[in-house]
Amino acid sequence: MKRAFALLIALAGIAQAEPASLQLTHEPPPRHLRMRPRRTAAASSAVPAPDSTADIKAPETIEPTLSTAKEALPLGSVRDLRRPISIRFNLGYAVDGTNLSGRPNMNEQEVHAEEFARLRAYALGEGYWSSRGVFLPSLSTYFAAHFQIAQPSTGFNHLDPQQTPLVVGPPVATWFERSGVEPRAAWAEVKDFLPDPRLAPLRLRGGELYVYGPWVMHMYGALAGWEGKLVRATIYGGSRVPDYTNGGVLDRKDRAGIFGNSATFDLRALKTPVPFTIGIELLRFTATGADDKQATSHGALQLDWRPRKDVALISRFRVLDGEIANEHVQLRSRYKQVTNLVFDFTHRHARDWRWDPSVGNTDILEAKRYLDLGPVVPQSLISGRAGTLIKENLDLLVRGAFAWDQPASEQDRNTFTAGYVELGTALEMRLRRTIGLGLSGMTRQTKRTATVPGEIPDIPNVIDPLPRQFGSELGESGFTEVGATLRMSLGARRLSALVELYGRRTRYALDYCAAKVIDGTVDPNCMSALDTGLLTQDTRGGGRFTLDAWVGSQLRLFASYEISSQLDLQREISGFKSLRLMMEGIY
């Protein structure tokens, strides 16, 4: 016992001794081991200098410098926005094809292989170039262009003994009818160029650009903007870029003048915040061309009220020549961070534009007539959708809509604004965050007020009661579609694949029938009359496979293959096939 007590006293005396008398020995670190670099080291943080008094120096890869930190970024990282020059390009190659089924068309006529192209290939691409502070610290530039290389498909008439070549239609209708380059945007902008810091939110932009007002405008001109916390405002002017004409650059006539301004007041930026945001937009089109298009004035007022963090009520009113043309109200709400609810109400008046505020002429030869949707009929639409997350791996979406037209008379009804009831749902289940299985379905039942009950009889030597142009008798009476998806993803900007399948059944409103004449009286029962071969319904299906892969952080590869089933309304062909190959580079 005495020996143990003496040992404890000796150890306590050693502990109270000066540490300078201690000599610690270490074995040198193994040369074949290296510590992994710290990938999470922020580039903006300062790198601490190594301690020169340390007896043992750590490997150089423990704390990477700014240059080694950039090299250590993982694959799929986002491009550094501090680079003064950014370049992006897309190159693609597409092949469309179909085959003859050997059956006659809907007119019971035999279709020959030379009447249309069964295979067509074309190339397309886009390029973007932007700079920030290259020529001047306050100067930014942007340029974007699109190009396509397409060769018209040729064939010949099998009844022509000379076999003269002629241009035939492609297997799939596309807008790639000719080769060439189309510029999309080319502008320069200066910002924070004045010595007074109070004018820092001011920016000036000029060139070929897009402006977002009551309608998205593509124009040649200039824009001045103010980007403040309380007030955001723009004023712009120029001439419209003729996107919907076929002429050359010098002989295009669609040069409507565009002048407008907009202002947004965010009252939440006040010292005492008010949960309102008010936006005002004004736009004017001037007369242009030899046809003297009528100048029009457009305006929009938007009110955004957010009384709570998870509730937003947004209303928008659009005015055409001083009269209300369209109203839209939207209510957004969120419940427990995983459930979103959105309700919309839209009402359009008869004075509203069809799809473009400048469409007002009656030139039937103009290229943009392909989007002619007929006369505008007042219509109201109520829709709602809800989405939620269940058990962190199951997404559920439900949507419903109800639309009804409000024409002034029965003659004002048309096929594009018929009322309908729509219901749809979608479900996606994720397995281990890599595999996702989705199912979807939607049905729409259209209400059509036909002036001709039942079917349209085809009576010889009698004026048939043909539907008028854009009549409400034309079009589908309802459709139902279902779909399934299988998705695989290894992470954002890495590798993903998608398989989609769909099926659709459409029912049409009217069908022609051949009427029998019995004892001088037309048989009113068209269903028991001669069959004309026209269908009252159409069933089709198809699928698509896509592959999206990133090679490093600057090269993306995309491939897509689509196929459809045989179409009941085009029984002379076996279906459509399409292959798309794209490559995207980012610098």
Look at residue 478 and tell me if it is in a domain.
Answer: no
Query: What is the arithmetic mean of pLDDT over 425-450?
Result: 90
Our count of domains for the chain comes to: 1
Average pLDDT for 252-267: 83
The chain-wide mean pLDDT, for the chain, equals: 78
Range of the domain at 117: 86-188
More confident position, 354 or 222:
222
Of 513, 517, 518, nearest to 530 by C-alpha is: 513
Q: Is this model's pTM higher than 0.85 or not? A: no
pLDDT attached to residue 113: 78
Structural domain includes residue 108: yes
User: How distant, in Å, are the alpha carbons of 427, 476, 479 from that of 421?
Assistant: 21, 13, 11
| Tens of pLDDT, residues 309-359 | 899 999 999 999 889 999 999 999 999 889 999 999 999 998 888 777 766
Q: Write the single-letter amino acid at 105.
A: N
**Contacts of 536 by beta carbon, 8 Å cutoff, 6+ apart:** 507, 508, 511
Q: Is the pLDDT of residue 443 over 90?
A: yes
Mean per-residue pLDDT for 45-60?
39
For residues 50 and 383, the model is more confident at: 383
Is the C-alpha dihedral spanning 249, 254, 256, 260 positive or negative? negative
Does any domain span residue 118?
A: yes
What does the pLDDT look like over 149-173, one tens digit per residue?
988 877 777 667 777 777 787 887 7
pLDDT at 422: 96
Q: CA 534, CA 411: separation in Å to the nearest integer?
A: 26
pLDDT at 165: 77
**Structural contact between residues 226 and 202, judged by C-beta atoms closer than 8 angstroms:** yes
Q: How high is the pLDDT of residue 474?
A: 76
- Is 165 a member of any domain? yes
Q: Tell me the Cα Rg of the chain.
A: 34
What mean pLDDT comes out for the span 464-492? 82
For 79-96, how does the pLDDT look when each residue is reduced to its tens digit (9 = 90+)? 566 778 999 999 999 999
Q: Is residue 353 part of a domain?
A: no
Cα(491)–Cα(433) distance, integer angstroms:
9
In this model, does residue 410 exceed pLDDT 60?
yes
- Residue 4 confidence (pLDDT) above 80: no
Host H or E run for residue 10: helix 2-15
CA atoms within 13 A on the CB side of 143: 7
**Quick one: average pLDDT of 34-60?**
41
Tell whether 131 is covered by a domain: yes
Best-predicted range by mean pLDDT (159-163, 227-231, 415-419): 227-231
Q: 149-158, 321-330, 451-460, 523-532: which has the minimum mean pLDDT?
A: 523-532
Indicate whether 149 belongs to any domain: yes
In a domain, residue 140? The reply is yes
Q: Please, which pLDDT band fits residue 14 given cuts at 50, 70 and 90?
A: very low
When pLDDT is cut at 50, 70 and 90, the band that residue 421 belongs to is: very high
pLDDT (mean) for 258-282: 94
